[in-house]
Amino acid sequence: MTTVASPVPATLAPSDVELLRRMLLVRRFEERCAELYSASRIRGFLHLYIGEEAVAVGVGAALEDGDNVVATYREHGHALVRGVPAGAVMAEMFGKVEGCSRGRGGSMHLFSVDHRFYGGHGIVAGGLPVALGLALADRMRGVPRVTACFFGEGAVAEGEFHETMNLAALWTVPMLFCCENNLYAMGTALARSESDTDLTVKAASYGMPAWSVDGMDVIAVREATRRAALQARAGGGPVFLELRTYRFRAHSMYDPELYRSKDEVAVWRERDPIDAIARRLTGAALLDADALEALDAAAMEEVDAAVAFADAGTDEPLSDLTRHVYADRRGERGPEEERT
């Protein structure tokens, strides 16, 4: 391995309880999503992030409000962490007009420009070039903003990954390549898809720092991201972060998990990132059992409220079916805005 970040073990601060709160919210939100999927309230594809929460929460904690995020189709957690209201995310999965993409996107395509959250991309590696462009615009205008782009390790096999890595380094854009390495591209193990399974070697060959980070440790993720963001924001160019994590649940709701053993999953579950940070906070006397219970109850309550909001949502009228294909140009093209 070329470069392994061993972030200074941070002393926990009282404010770090917030990390746990966010991880619990993401976990409880997604557990409810799975139930709602079984109840046919949510349809389409549903990809759960359970087990990987330390990545979205850790990276999110290191970003500033004005930074950009581009994510994948496994992005409920990233949206919640960036502040997209849980109700708007749930309503999106219910296909309601109150959803953060007006019910046009569903689980895989959450968007919120107000939160600088630019999707929700369903094509593996397809979000990378877009993130490059967002970062390029900031570079050209001298805006000290960072664009964090999440993608799975499966994307490393795509040409768009390599093209984007090369251009990001060549143009020294302020971009963070956040590789969520959960070891499986759907059902294909890393060793069965990559000639060299050390992803930092490939990344470093593009002339950018490439660090491997324990993605089950939210503090390690946050500290590495802080370091990376500092460099990118200061004009030092992009950084590649390999965030080593594991997906506890199936790839999607249709996955019988034939490609990995229950024992393997059980071993990783021992390293549950929520338990891990809860233990550390407890050890540092920043959390006790009552406080943990209260946090969990608050997360459940927020999820309940999100479901209630989505339940009360409305269907977009069919007359709006072809809206938003083009910008509305009222008076110029008639009500349907169709250009056929």
Partner 1 sequence: MTSTTCREAMREAIREAMLADDRVFLMGEDVGAYGGCFAVSKGLLDEFGPDRIRDTPLSESAFVGAGIGAAIAGLRPIVEIMTVNFSLLALDQILNNAATLRHMSGGQVGVPLVIRMTTGGGRQLAAQHSHSLEGWYGHIPGITVLVPATVDDFRGMLAPALADPDPVLIFEHALLYNAEGELSAGSIPPIDRAVVRRSGRDVTIVTYGGSLAKCLVAADQLAGRGIDAEVIDLRSLRPLDDATLLDSVARTHRAVVVDEGWRSGSISAEVSARITEHAFFDLDAPVLRVCCAEVPLPYAKHLEDAALPSVERVVAAVDEVVNVRA
Residue 241 DSSP code: E
- Mark residues 242-281: x for contact with partner 1 by CB under 8 A, - for none: ----------------------------------------
What are the two backbone dihedrals, phi and then psi, of residue 25, each rounded to the nearest 5 degrees?
Answer: -60, -45
Query: Of residues 163, 194, 198, 255, which one binds partner 1 by CB under 8 A?
Result: 163
d(CA 108, CA 93): 9
Q: Does 99 sit behind a cis peptide bond, omega within 30 degrees of 0 on the bond before it?
A: no
Cβ-proximal residues to 77 (8 Å cutoff; 6+ apart), any chain: 26, 29, 30, 49, 52, 53, 56, 57
DSSP codes, 250-286: -SSTT---TTS-HHHHHHHHTT-HHHHHHHHHHHTTS
User: Which one of the spans 30-38, 134-142, 212-220, 304-312 is the region binding partner 1 (CB under 8 A)?
Assistant: 134-142
Q: Which is nearer to partner 1, 141 or 262 (CB)?
A: 141
How many residues sit in the footprint of partner 1 (CB under 8 A)?
Answer: 47
* Residue 119 is a binding residue for partner 1 (CB under 8 A): yes
Query: Of residues 112, 182, 212, 225, which one binds partner 1 by CB under 8 A?
Result: 112
Query: Of residues 140, 201, 294, 297, which one binds partner 1 by CB under 8 A?
Result: 140
Q: How far is CA 41 from CA 45, 307, 321, in A?
A: 12, 10, 21
Q: Which is nearer to partner 1, 145 or 227 (CB)?
A: 145
* Residue 200 is a binding residue for partner 1 (CB under 8 A): no
Query: Of residues 44, 129, 187, 207, which one binds partner 1 by CB under 8 A?
Result: 129
d(CA 64, CA 61): 8
Residue 185, both tokens: 């591209």
Q: Which is nearer to partner 1, 61 or 124 (CB)?
A: 124
Beta-ladder partners of 179:
151, 242
Whether 238 and 176 have beta carbons less than 8 Å apart is answered as yes
Query: Of residues 5, 61, 167, 169, which one binds partner 1 by CB under 8 A?
Result: 167
* Residue 94 is a binding residue for partner 1 (CB under 8 A): no
Q: Which is nearer to partner 1, 99 or 215 (CB)?
A: 99
Task: Tell me the one-letter amino acid at 10.
Answer: A
- Scan residues 296-325 and list those touching partner 1 (CB under 8 A): 323-325
Interface residues with partner 1 (CB under 8 A)?
A: 99-105, 109, 111-113, 118-123, 126, 128-138, 140-141, 159-160, 163-164, 166-167, 170, 323-328, 338-340
